[in-house]
């Protein structure tokens, strides 16, 4: 099963507005995975760098789903910030025409998250300092496609990191993944996306696996994704807070890259949208406003 880097749903959830209720509802227990959890170093290494001058010693970041609409923006912004990038893609030829060409700090490798953690470990290699997962399933008649990519594929990446000793992991997920617990079962966006293979539930199960793995994570839940340039400033909220709103993919990529530069992002789930009436805030302030759970 192929995986593309769409990151999250395209539906603009700002069209829907329902009251948010914060009560706990468990859809089902996470019995999908039976991977053994080894003891992990919870301290996790920070990716060091300065926003003004980039990264003095180039840290290499592996990006899964690097040719997707969000993934390619992450690659571009990582390179602009001074990182080296290893782009994990399904189609090497497509990647060469999609990603920045002739860049000595960009390496393109074949990587399919559905093919297991061992092959992914080979693709990530022992020279990657962090992994960003920006994958998303390719729409098909296969009802299990979201689980193969957004659930099992993400778990495969986490296990590959654990095998290699990569301690930093970022996931681009989606708002409303925990819609049931938010009282949003009837939100049209939540209903629509789960009709298509229980997509949001698959993402939520993957998030839960990451949070139990011991890896130093940042889970980014954007609102409805826009391909147009940013409009408004970034609003960042606690998990299970936002149920409407949209954001430019450029801003999602920016949040992912800045998460590597700010230790305030460690072990956190953040939800993001953009609003024209929102004040401009630094990323240190944005990430610092979110509590760890």
pLDDT digits (tens, 9 = 90+) for 68-116: 999 999 999 999 999 999 999 999 999 999 999 889 999 999 999 999 9
Host domain of residue 281? 58-287
Cα separation of 223 and 271, whole Å?
8
In a domain, 11, yes or no: no
Q: Which pLDDT belongs to residue 140?
A: 64
In a domain, 28, yes or no: no
> What CATH number corresponds to the domain at position 249?
3.40.50.720
Cα Rg for the chain, rounded, in angstroms? 18
| Model pTM score | 0.81
- State the alpha helices, DSSP H only, in the chain: 71-80, 92-98, 117-124, 145-146, 152-164, 188-195, 199-212, 249-261, 283-288
pLDDT digits (tens, 9 = 90+) for 130-181: 999 999 877 766 778 889 999 999 999 999 999 999 999 999 999 999 999 9
What DSSP character marks residue 180? T
162: CB partners within 8 A, 6+ apart:
38, 40, 213, 214, 215
Cα separation of 172 and 169, whole Å?
10
Total domains in the chain come to 1
In a domain, 39, yes or no: no
26 pLDDT more than 80: no
């Amino acid at each position: 099963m192929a995986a593309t880097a769409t990151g999250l749903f395209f539906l603009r959830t700002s069209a829907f507005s329902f009251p948010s209720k914060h009560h706990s509802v468990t859809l089902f227990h996470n019995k999908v995975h039976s991977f053994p959890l080894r003891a992990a170093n919870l301290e996790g290494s920070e990716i060091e760098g300065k926003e003004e001058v980039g990264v003095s010693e180039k840290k290499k970041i592996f990006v899964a789903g690097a040719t997707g609409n969000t993934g390619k923006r992450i690659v571009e912004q990582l390179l602009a910030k001074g990182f080296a990038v290893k782009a994990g893609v399904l189609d090497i030829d497509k990647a060469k025409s999609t990603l920045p060409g002739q860049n000595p700090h960009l390496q393109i490798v074949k990587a399919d998250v559905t093919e297991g953690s061992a092959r992914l470990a080979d693709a990530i290699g022992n020279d990657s300092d962090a992994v960003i997962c920006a994958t998303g399933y390719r729409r098909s008649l296969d009802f299990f496609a979201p689980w193969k990519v957004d659930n099992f594929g993400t778990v495969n990446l986490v296990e590959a990191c654990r095998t290699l000793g990569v301690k930093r992991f970022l996931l681009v997920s989606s708002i409303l993944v925990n819609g049931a617990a938010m009282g949003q079962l009837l939100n049209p966006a939540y209903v629509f996306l789960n009709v298509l293979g229980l997509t949001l539930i698959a993402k939520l199960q993957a998030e839960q696996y990451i949070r139990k793995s011991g890896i130093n994570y940042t889970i980014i839940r954007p609102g409805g994704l826009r391909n147009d340039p940013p409009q408004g400033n970034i609003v960042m909220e606690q998990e299970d807070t936002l149920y409407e709103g949209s954001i430019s993919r450029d801003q999602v990529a920016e949040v992912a890259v800045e998460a590597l530069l700010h230790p305030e992002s460690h072990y956190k789930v953040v939800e993001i949208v953009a609003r024209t009436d929102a004040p401009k805030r630094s990323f240190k302030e944005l990430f610092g406003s979110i509590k760890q759970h």
